[in-house]
Amino acid sequence: MIDLTTTYMGLHLKNPIVASASPLCDSVDKIRFLEEHGIGAVVLPSLFEEQLILESESVDADLSRGAEAFSESSSFLPELGDYNLGPEGYLELIRKAKKSVSIPVIASLNGSTPGGWVRYAREMEQAGADAIELNIYSLVTDPSRTAAEVEKDYCALVRKLRENLQIPIAVKLSHFFSAISNFASHIDTSGANALVLFNRFYQPDLDINQLEVVPSLTLSHPSELLLRLHWTAVIYGRISADIAVTGGVHRSEDVLKSVMAGASVAMMTSALLQNGVPYLNAVLSGMIEWMEEHEYESIKQMRGSMSQRNVPDPALYERANYMRVLSSYTLRSPSR
């Protein structure tokens, strides 16, 4: 009997597949459907810092300044007030989901500054969320802001959440840092219980006929997993926080690779949007089949087995391998 159970931030999961934040988890019915098809845990779609600020600003504005007076957020975020059900609806979703399913329900906050809005996380906790995932999504375009300042703010944000919460905190990061290992360890010591590697940024496209900047959202490809595997393997064992992989997990072997690199869980969205939620059954049975064939008994047994500290040649994860890869391509090229 194969044991697929795992622990993630102290939560017990029946298997390491988690539905990451997306509209797949935005209603109780959808969350129940995911549970019925075997998901280990769900992350609710994010509630945005701007939504929380907008809510408090609109109260202030109504009271004292008039609807036109408050900051730029009012001009581009009018529809955000009710996005993801809005702050009140979000708490209601947590409460209802917790009554309806037995898998862990992780709430998600999307923000980048350590503002007063973070207190809202406590309401998510009180509503019953098993953990909070903080999606730090910031696009720093100001050339006078330094990397050190940005990282300091991120750590302050995590510390502020930690001060406000009893439940575990996961931090979802992008890979755009020049010293990821160092930054990961600072986020770890700021109080994160897990790192979620990595956010996908949705870069706008350019319409050269209409001369417009066009928002674009594309689903992931399994090749995106490699970046996540690399950094998971490098960071595993160097921080005390757990690691979750998100981005490019599409198949059974992608989940197994994530675990072997060192992840406690592997998250899926694109694959479930593309193939439908029942596709989870195939992924889970594919994992069991592979583990039986290769005589693994449990997920715990394979965690980190291919991390940098556990492979015979750690240089495979370093610069030396970059040169090896490039030269191997030259050798394979047809001679003219």
Ligand X SMILES: Cc1cc2nc3c(=O)[nH]c(=O)nc-3n(C[C@H](O)[C@H](O)[C@H](O)COP(=O)(O)O)c2cc1C
Binding site for ligand X (CB under 6 A): 20-23, 45-46, 108, 110, 135, 172, 200, 219-220, 246-249, 268-271
Q: How many CA atoms, within 13 angstroms, populate the side-chain half-sphere of residue 106?
A: 33
For ligand X, the closer of residues 24 and 155 by Cβ is 24
Q: Quick check: 164 and 119 in contact, CB under 8 A?
A: yes
Phi then psi for residue 267, to 5 deg, are -105, 150
- The DSSP letter of residue 3 is B
Min dist CB 174 to ligand X, Å, is 11
For ligand X, the closer of residues 216 and 301 by Cβ is 216
Min dist CB 205 to ligand X, Å, is 16
For ligand X, the closer of residues 109 and 296 by Cβ is 109
Q: Quick check: 17 and 268 in contact, CB under 8 A?
A: yes
For ligand X, the closer of residues 57 and 254 by Cβ is 254
Min dist CB 61 to ligand X, Å, is 26
Min dist CB 246 to ligand X, Å, is 4
Min dist CB 313 to ligand X, Å, is 29
Q: Identify each DSSP E strand in the chain by its residue range.
A: 6-8, 11-13, 17-19, 41-43, 47-48, 105-111, 131-136, 169-173, 194-197, 205-207, 212-214, 242-246, 265-268
Q: How many CA atoms, within 13 angstroms, populate the side-chain half-sphere of residue 188?
A: 15
Q: Quick check: 267 and 196 in contact, CB under 8 A?
A: yes
For ligand X, the closer of residues 233 and 249 by Cβ is 249
For ligand X, the closer of residues 18 and 308 by Cβ is 18
Min dist CB 15 to ligand X, Å, is 16
First-to-final CA distance of the chain: 55
